[in-house]
Structure 1
Amino acid sequence: MRGFAIEYRTGDRIGKLGDLAVDTTKELWPVVGLIVDMGFGKGDKMIDPGEHIEVDIEEERNIELGGKAILRDPHTDASRLDHMRLHFLDGKKVFSSDEQLVGKVYDAVVFTHIKPWNVKKLLVSTKGLKSRRIRLDVNDITKVTTDGIVLDMEMAEIEETEEQADVDL
């Protein structure tokens, strides 16, 4: 959704979606803000998500705001786990609870069809001979730091869960 146009129902353009702010301290990581790129030379703004947001993925590729959307300055402190930007997680290393490298985050699955929006899974790519892509439930994450993301599962559990997912396909 990054790059989607954000506009009022009247058609007045606000800016483009730059990022999402999520609360990583809660279950399912609810989206607590839409980070809006206001244009060249202007700072980013944040809009609180609410019942008044409609997303058009197929046709217009835009986000339409109804009601009174209040633009405010976003939090810039990356250490705030209750307002973490999703791009902060891009490329982050993911470690198992036994300190083995699982891979790196390359994307997130955001449920926009349910209000409030939630981040359900992080998508992780692995390297090496068994290179693959893994979907990790955000409830399996115990810690997010500048060094990386730590899971509450050991590497053997992750591989077992992954094998089970392959069988279910």
Structure 2
Amino acid sequence: MEYYFSRIQLFDESQIVTPSLKRKLDKKRRKKLEKLESQGILIGKNPAKLLHKAQKLAESTEKETDSVTEEIRRKWKVAILKAQGYKVKDDLNLLKKSANKMKKIKRKQFEKWQERNQLVEQTKLERQAKRQANIQERRNRKLTKKFQKAKSKGRIFSLGQT
């Protein structure tokens, strides 16, 4: 059992066995995230999506000015969430940096994967060529052996040919 400030967690969410309970918790978590996003508080893992949402929120807040009380309420909400252990991502510069970092990582992984695929294809072609060469060599050996046998038995005459 783990304690989080005033919240008590009675079970480990990763060990939930029943699918219905897992669905309920996921739905509850999604609703909470949607509600927080509507208030301008971003909590999540995908930096690109969070950046997109933050930019949309910034555009909407530029158009309409929030009252001071709403801004204070939002700041308190953020402070409470941070105290509860949530990572509130509200800095646009950091979101941009992390989104770019993820793009670079994905691009590098894609390039590595392409190299791996090329290497696999190349080795496959080399092995196929080697196999074909071995099969052809075996076929030639069989034919020469067959001709030698026929020659020794007198079935084939070589007239000046080697």
Bin of the TM-score, shorter chain as denominator length: under 0.3
| Structure with more of its chain in strand, by fraction | 1
| Structure with more of its chain in helix, by fraction | 2
Q: Computing the radius of gyration over CA atoms, which structure comes out larger, 1 or 2?
A: 2
